[in-house]
């Protein structure tokens, strides 16, 4: 099943990465879509 990317899937991705408890910085290469710069997404990214 193909899922479209949106602010909710970006937040879910960030939460899954955070759940891995990384010990260092994480770099994600994104395509600068509007939903990636959403307030909720940016809040989780920090």
Residue 32 is predicted with a pLDDT of 85
Q: How confident is the model at residue 2 (pLDDT cuts 50, 70, 90)?
A: low
What tens digit of pLDDT does each residue of 7-38 get? 999 999 999 999 999 999 989 898 888 888 88
Going by the DSSP 8-state scheme, the letter that residue 43 receives in this structure is: H
pTM, 2 dp? 0.78
Structural domain of residue 14, as residue ranges?
Answer: 7-45
Q: Minimal CA–CA distance to 46: which of 16, 26, 23?
A: 26
Distance, CA of 5 to CA of 19 (rounded, Å): 20
Q: What percent of the chain has pLDDT over 90?
A: 46
Q: Is residue 37 part of a domain?
A: yes
CB 17 within 8 A of CB 26: yes
Give the count of domains, the chain.
1
How far from 32 is each of 3, 19, 24, 36, CA to CA, in Å? 18, 24, 23, 6
Q: Is residue 2 part of a domain?
A: no
């Amino acid at each position: 099943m193909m899922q479209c990317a949106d602010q909710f899937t970006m937040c879910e991705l960030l939460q899954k990465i955070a759940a891995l408890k990384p010990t260092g910085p994480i770099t994600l290469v994104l395509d600068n879509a509007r939903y990636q710069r959403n307030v909720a997404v940016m809040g989780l990214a920090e």
